[in-house]
Amino acid sequence: MDIRTDGLKSFAPDEPIDTLVVAVFKGANGLELAGGPGEVLTSHQEIALWKLLTAVGAVGSKGEVTTVPGEVLAGAGAVNAESASDEAAPAGPAVERILAVGLGDIEEVTDETIREAAGVASRNVKRPQAQAEGANASADSAGTSADGAGADGASQDVDTNSASTNSANRGAHVVSTLGMFGTEAALVGHGLGAYSYFGQRAGTAAIDRITVLTHGSDGNASAPEDTVKRARIVVESVCFARDLVNAPANELYPESYAAIAAHQAEEFGIKAEILDEKQLEEQGFGGIIGVGKGSARAPRLLRLTYTPAETKDGAPFVALVGKGITFDTGGISLKPGANMWDMISDMGGSAAVIASIYAVARLGVPVKVTATVPMAENMPSDRATRPGDILRHYGGITTEVLNTDAEGRLVLADAIVRACEDKPDYLIETATLTGAQMVALGNRTPGVMGSIDFRDRVAMISQEVGENAWPMPLPAELDDALKSDVADLRNISTTRWGGMSVAGCYLSHFVPDDVEWVHIDIAGPAYNTSAPHGYTPKRGTGVPVRTIVETIERIGRG
């Protein structure tokens, strides 16, 4: 899919517009159209559109989507005709369909409002073939719905990275006015909302091209190239993470996963190293071996290293670690069968850090970054780790395993110690780690733990980019509950309380005191099992790629 920008005044489409996305507000006196006459629509067009939207009950509430046939503009002038007079402008390219997306109160619009509105719009776009029967529909075909209530200058290419998006049939050409209120937010929202994943089912993406209109410097210029480039890379990286999370475990297992990630890394100039099960055993990665030995699919440890082309003495160094359990049955502490299929997503943290280091390399951020990714399947068998077993981690700390379904922290412990051997300044680790995260914060809000100042900084960044992480404590009394009589630690507490923070406390034992670190628990946010919302699809979400990338960029800026 191609996303480009154009200036409001210079935009002159040379082909039909399948869908025109128009922003609307909830004003004090009812529905208000965004922009003034002559910016996107002529005064005749605005009046005709406003009347129809009002007639079908649109009020401009946040998340509201109203669909009307493009013929409402017929005879009222050309799209973007530079005329606000009472005379109809010359006829322009036909508009097949109009999506009016509500932004709510104009005083409360944020970048996230724009991202979500753009995502909602992209998700509601129909392929031209699907619109053909309604091309001559009357105003009676207009309809309004809340998000989720209905259907689920220079050109810069934004690829959603789903292999299924290629098609011989033409997708829709979409023109959006949301760039008037935030160019990068509109680009990212539209790109993420347009994502589609079909797996091995036949399907075709709805959108081929989106043109986001912007004010530019004088209304004639498209957005700066750097803005479009960054949006493109962020969208592609998030969608790559989504593709990995959505892949079935019979296709994405430790060996294949490591190979795929290493091959992709080479394209971006990132050094890749893979340790197989023999090397892991020889080097003492007891947590990874202990979790993975119950499966016929042997574990792996992937190491990715990005070194900027130009580095200065004292340049910051960030280590990333992500949990890569490609399928989690719970092991001997077997999970219930209901919804176990969702455990293909238990490698969501690894997908996020892999996608993030790719993004950082492509953006040329002046920060050294490594990604250390433990990959394993957690399966029951006669070779599997049993409750009561003691594992010796890389670096020498021992853990008494009380529950084999608390396996993520066991592989992360090895990976954290290995990552910190390189003396990073910062450690960002993320994992689908605990069901307790969802109990405490729901399925859209990650929990962030770690060094207090860095934790709060990452949480703030996450909220700014729309991933909405929330800072959580690491109470001393919960840490005390991890003491074992027969090992340095045990992998769970024997009480019911504070499970998310208990896991964070456990991981803290493997982080050196001189490293600023955060643990981001994405158990719920990494995988959306409910209806799509905003720019978030069902299944893999790509959280927290945008948080990680933005954090590293800011570290690079000092």
Q: For residues 199 and 197, what is the distance between their CA atoms, to the nearest angstrom?
A: 6
Structural domains in the chain, CATH included, are: 2-76+93-129+171-223 (3.40.220.10), 231-557 (3.40.630.10)
pTM over 0.75: yes
Q: Which of 62, 209, 368, 409 is catalytic?
A: 409
Q: Which residue has the higher pLDDT, 45 or 333?
A: 333
Q: Is it the case that residue 83 has pLDDT exceeding 90?
A: no
- The DSSP annotation for 162-203 comes to -GGG--SS--EEEEESGGGT-HHHHHHHHHHHT----TTS--
pLDDT of residue 127: 82
Q: For residues 226 and 363, what is the distance between their CA atoms, to the nearest angstrom?
A: 10
Average pLDDT over residues 6-26: 86
417 in Cβ contact with 288 (< 8 Å): no
Q: For residues 351 and 558, what is the distance between their CA atoms, to the nearest angstrom?
A: 27
Q: Which residue has the higher pLDDT, 202 or 60?
A: 60
Q: For residues 373 and 273, what is the distance between their CA atoms, to the nearest angstrom?
A: 11
Mean pLDDT (the chain) is 90
- The DSSP annotation for 350-367 comes to HHHHHHHHHHHHHHT-SS
Q: Supply the DSSP symbol for 108.
A: G
pLDDT of residue 392: 99
Confidence class for position 157, pLDDT limits 50, 70, 90? very low
> What residues pair up with 248 in beta bridges, in sequence order?
none
Q: Is it the case that residue 394 has pLDDT exceeding 60?
A: yes
Q: Is it the case that residue 218 has pLDDT exceeding 60?
A: no
Q: What is the pLDDT of residues 273-293, one digit of tens each?
A: 999 999 999 999 999 999 999
Confidence class for position 393, pLDDT limits 50, 70, 90? very high
Q: Which of 229, 335, 392, 538 is catalytic?
A: 335
Q: What is the pLDDT of residues 237-250, one digit of tens each?
A: 999 999 999 999 99
Q: Which amino acid is at 330?
A: G
Of 80-94, 150-164, 375-389, 543-557, minimum mean pLDDT range: 150-164
Q: Supply the DSSP symbol for 536.
A: B
- The backbone torsions φ and ψ at residue 12, rounded to the nearest 5 degrees and listed phi first, read -140, 85
Q: Is it the case that residue 79 has pLDDT exceeding 70?
A: no
User: What's the burial of 402, exposed, middle or buried (CB within 10 Å: 0-12/13-18/19+)?
Assistant: middle
- The backbone torsions φ and ψ at residue 289, rounded to the nearest 5 degrees and listed phi first, read -65, -45
Enumerate residues 6+ apart whose C-beta is below 8 A from 50.
Answer: 31, 33
167 in Cβ contact with 204 (< 8 Å): yes
Residue 453 assigned ligand-binding role: no
Q: What is the pLDDT of residues 500-538, one digit of tens each?
A: 999 999 999 999 999 999 999 999 999 999 999 999 999
Compute the CA torsion angle 238, 427, 367, 235 (nearest 10 deg): 10
Q: Are strands 64-69 and 143-146 parallel, antiparallel or unpaired?
A: antiparallel
Q: Is it the case that residue 9 has pLDDT exceeding 50?
A: yes
Residue 452 burial (CB count, 10 A): 12
Q: What is the pLDDT of residues 465-497, one digit of tens each?
A: 999 999 999 999 999 999 999 999 999 999 899
User: What's the burial of 93, exposed, middle or buried (CB within 10 Å: 0-12/13-18/19+)?
Assistant: middle
465: three-class secondary structure by DSSP: helix
Residue 405 assigned ligand-binding role: yes
pLDDT of residue 168: 45
Average pLDDT over residues 371-388: 99
Residue 152 burial (CB count, 10 A): 10
Q: Name the token pair of 5.
A: 């920008």
Residue 407 assigned ligand-binding role: yes
Please state, for a pLDDT cut of 70, what percent of the chain lies above it. 87
Q: Is it the case that residue 87 has pLDDT exceeding 90?
A: no
Q: Is it the case that residue 148 has pLDDT exceeding 50?
A: no
Q: How many residues does the chain have?
A: 558
Q: For residues 546 and 238, what is the distance between their CA atoms, to the nearest angstrom?
A: 7
Of 163-172, 296-305, 323-332, 505-514, minimum mean pLDDT range: 163-172
Q: For residues 339 and 337, what is the distance between their CA atoms, to the nearest angstrom?
A: 6
Q: For residues 313 and 308, what is the distance between their CA atoms, to the nearest angstrom?
A: 12
Confidence class for position 41, pLDDT limits 50, 70, 90? confident
Residue 328 assigned ligand-binding role: yes
Average pLDDT over residues 413-436: 99
pLDDT of residue 7: 85
Confidence class for position 80, pLDDT limits 50, 70, 90? low
458 in Cβ contact with 551 (< 8 Å): yes
Q: Is 335 a catalytic residue?
A: yes
Confidence class for position 147, pLDDT limits 50, 70, 90? low
Average pLDDT over residues 252-263: 99
- The DSSP annotation for 387-398 comes to TT-EEE-TTS-E
pLDDT of residue 137: 38
Q: Which amino acid is at 494?
A: T
Which span out of 217-226, 312-321, 344-353 was modeled with the highest average pLDDT? 344-353
Q: Is 538 a catalytic residue?
A: no
Q: For residues 224 and 276, what is the distance between their CA atoms, to the nearest angstrom?
A: 45
